[in-house]
Each structure stands twice: as structure tokens, then as C-alpha cells.
Amino acid sequence: MDPAQVGPIPVAEFDSAPAADAAAELMPCCTSRRWISGLVSGRPYARLDRLTTASDALLATLDWSELAAVLASHPRIGERATSDSRSDSWSRQEQAGTAGAAEQVRRDLTAANLAYEQRFGHVFLICATGLSAETMLAALRFRLRNDPIAEREVVRGELVKIVRLRLAKAFR
């Protein structure tokens, strides 16, 4: 079975699950141990909107080292995640806009990704769902002009968007 097709499960089921099982349901959404622990310990939520609100609040409290650890689990824009995990399957869906990109756009994405990583020390993160490769490339080039502090806040905002989408895929 395709891992991306698993779920969504009812939030009530998540609320009543053993802590280890609840944590396993959250892991494909965001790999932050503190975020996972906070959401598991904050149960019950009863509804997806409450779970999402709690998630947003926890993501806002993560320090940069915690965010950097989360970034390490995300593939580069334009690179296909290769495992059968739910997270990698979702990444492939989210980055679908790069699948049919022209070869020059793919080369430009690779070069811009490397420039970004050299400038900021981590992968470029963008909520790619529904975006074309050209749009992602333009955003990447634009964000290369940010100072590191401003870029960290942009990254946090993009992570919040990604996690919200993934929570909606995992829970109902």
C-alpha cells in the first residue's frame, strides 16, 4: 500500500492512541521531537482545527537549532525523495510542479539551491504545493537577497504552511 494513501485518521483516534502510536502519526508531518512531544502531551484536541492551532503555537516556539534539524529531513526542491515513507511520498506530491520542468529550469534550481545552502547553511524550504518549478525558482532567487535573520522567519512560516497541509492529510 502506498504510504501516502494511509489516513487520514480521525483526530479522536489520535487523541485516544497510545503516546508512541500518536507520535508515529505525527512524524511524517514534522520531525521535531519537541513539536511531536508537545502535541502528544497536549491531547485531546477533538478537531483538526484545534490540533492545527496547537501545532502552529508549538512551531512558533522552536529555536533555530530545532528548525535546522527539521530542515535536514526535507529534500531539496527539485530532488525526488526516494523512500516509500509517508513523508517522502508527500514530498513528491508537494513538489509535483518540478516533475515536468524543462532541463534548464532543473539546472537553475540545482544551482540556486546550492547558492542558497552556501549563503544560509540549510536547504531552501518552500511550501511547494501547487507551485510550478519556475515559481519556486523565482522565490528561491528572491529569498537569496534576504538577510539570515529575515530568512529564518520566512523558513518558519513556510514550515508552518507545510505542516498544516500534512496535518490535513494525516487527520480528519
Q: What is the mean pLDDT of residues 87-103?
A: 87
Q: How many CA atoms lie within 13 A of 71 on its CB side?
A: 22
For residue 94, the model assigns a pLDDT of 87
Q: State pTM to two decimals.
A: 0.92
Angle between helices 133-143 and 103-120 (to 10 degrees): 30
Given a cut of 70, whether residue 2 has pLDDT beyond it is no
pLDDT in tens, 108-128: 999 999 999 999 999 999 999
Three cell numbers at 62? 522552536
* 146, 154 contact by CB (below 8 A): yes
Q: Is the pLDDT of residue 1 over 60?
A: no
Residue-wise pLDDT tens digits, 31-49: 999 999 999 999 999 999 9
Domains of the chain by start residue, with CATH: 8-62 (no CATH), 75-165 (1.10.3330.10)
pLDDT band for position 81 (50/70/90)?
low
- Per-residue model confidence as pLDDT tens digits over 132-143: 999 999 999 999
Across 85-103, average pLDDT:
86
